[in-house]
Amino acid sequence: MPRLIEIPLPDGEPTDAPPPHEPAFRIEHPLYESETRAEWIAERLLTDDDLFAGKVHVPAKKSGKSIGGAKAITYATFRGVVDHMLRGARRAESVCLPDQLIAEAVLEGPNSLTHHKVEQGGHLLARLFLHYWRAVANAFDEAWDDHHDHLLWHPHGLAAFGSLGSRIVQDQVDTYNIRQHYFDEVLEGVAAKVSLKKSDHAHVAAHDMTDHLLGLLASARASSRRTTGLTAIPGTVGSIDWGSGAAPLSPDVDLDLDLDGGITIASAS
């Protein structure tokens, strides 16, 4: 939940009056600051879906720290991967969380429609990240579950897949391919060309492994077939006509034109 924090007044100003043209309080929310967005998104990925169950050790939940005899990654490591992805996908971030929208929400307060837009933009961004990691889990299913003989959950693998994720999320937003099956299509093409078995990369020095894996993954991605998307994100989430506070169209919703030129909305199965 957002909370109010007091803005310090300049020296010499009366403590009971705000600075000229400035609010006495502003709203503090993790999505309002780029430094805290990764934490918010990481929490959404872990609490809104069970994809990472048993993979990430969450301090408040001791169970699931290990799976198949291999230790899961720490929450701090997971948050770092999300932060790395976010920093590499600035265009996608600016579409979902435009600066002007954030500035308006800070001034209008936690119960405003503008703040609701910010939260919806944050959820959309988290959904796109989740689409990517679910596609990774589906395409590299053996590596997803086998931490011992595969590189996916090792630091080099996480760094490489984090960088790949930034590129894919940004590319999917740019081309409007934002439904789950578009992410699946890209990662299936990558998985068909890249092995994550440790034994297949034994010749690579440890200090070169991240760049080595990222090079293989990026090359496979570049050669994968892509399909033009049907569900478009507007220029920014802030440009959506939100009406009375309705949520934006889900990334899992199709927009279909009928013969009379009308638009019908059909939820994906």
Q: What is the pLDDT of residue 242?
A: 40
Q: How confident is the model at residue 161 (pLDDT cuts 50, 70, 90)?
A: very high
Residue 256, pLDDT > 50, answer no
Residue 89, pLDDT > 70, answer yes
Q: What is the pLDDT of residue 11?
A: 56
Q: How confident is the model at residue 43 (pLDDT cuts 50, 70, 90)?
A: very high
Q: What is the pLDDT of residue 59?
A: 74
Degrees, nearest 5: CA angle 188-193-195 = 100
Q: How confident is the model at residue 82 (pLDDT cuts 50, 70, 90)?
A: very high
- Give the other-Cβ count within 10 Å of 244's Cβ: 5
Higher pLDDT residue, 120 or 266? 120
Average of pLDDT values for 98-115? 92
Residue 185, pLDDT > 90, answer yes
Weakest-pLDDT range from 69-78, 102-111, 248-257? 248-257
Residue 98, pLDDT > 50, answer yes
Q: What is the pLDDT of residue 176?
A: 87
Q: What is the pLDDT of residue 239?
A: 53
Tell me what percent of the residues of the chain surpass a pLDDT of 90. 59
Contacts of 187 (CB under 8 A, 6+ apart): 132, 135, 136, 138, 139, 140, 168
Average of pLDDT values for 214-239? 69
Contacts of 215 (CB under 8 A, 6+ apart): none
Highest-scoring range by mean pLDDT, 1-10, 99-108, 231-240: 99-108
Weakest-pLDDT range from 60-64, 132-136, 167-171, 187-191? 60-64
Contacts of 88 (CB under 8 A, 6+ apart): 162, 163, 165, 166, 167, 170
Q: How confident is the model at residue 57 (pLDDT cuts 50, 70, 90)?
A: confident
What average pLDDT does the chain have?
A: 79
Q: What is the CA radius of gyration of the chain?
A: 21
Residue 266, pLDDT > 50, answer no
Q: What is the pLDDT of residue 246?
A: 39
Higher pLDDT residue, 66 or 203? 203
The residue ranges of every structural domain in the chain are: 3-238
